[in-house]
Amino acid sequence: MKIISWNINALRKHEKAFRNVMQQEQPDVFCLQEIRTREDQMEFRVEGYKAYLNPADLSQYYGTGVYIRNGVHPLSITFDPPVDGHDYEGRIEAVEFERFFLVNSYWPFSSTKEFLQWRLEWNSLFNAFIQKLQQRKPVIICGDTNMVRGSS
């Protein structure tokens, strides 16, 4: 199975580049981060693929998307696992296949000390979610982890 992951930073803005990569690489699964759009805002479809978009409530931010080639059949897809007090803002898609889970993720950036606390809690909840999945079958994690060294 061929899987590609790309932080596209606005799917509609980069439609041409996205289509070029899809045509050239022809992946079975294409995971996107920072799609920044909702399905009802999309003006294009990709022939031969089914799109599963998970936008943020404010669609100009964040969001993930998975394009799965026709004929490749996921068993299930989970969007942003529910956790009391946490809104994941379209940051997680867990696609279950017969032999593994594929988790497409866009992790929060911790630009301030306050946001760092939220990020650390998010990391802990994400890890617990992955551990639950691993009890059932192997997990592949892809996406943008926002692991950037801050300036001092």
86-125: pLDDT as tens digits: 677 899 999 999 999 999 999 988 888 888 888 898 899 9
CB 111 within 8 A of CB 148: no
Instruction: For residue 40, indicate whether it is catalytic.
Output: no
What DSSP assignment string belongs to 67-123? Answer: EEETT---SEEEES--BTTB--TT-EEEEE-SS-EEEEEEPPP--SHHHHHHHHHHH
Catalytic residue among 62, 67, 88, 106: 106
Catalytic residue among 49, 67, 88, 144: 144
3-state secondary structure of 42: coil
Reported as a single tens digit per residue, the pLDDT across 21-65 is: 999 999 999 999 999 998 888 888 999 999 999 998 876 778 999
Instruction: For residue 61, indicate whether it is catalytic.
Output: no
Domains in the chain and their CATH numbers? 3-144 (3.60.10.10)
Q: Could you tell me the two tokens for 115?
A: 């946001």
Write down the number of H helices and E strands in the chain.
2, 8
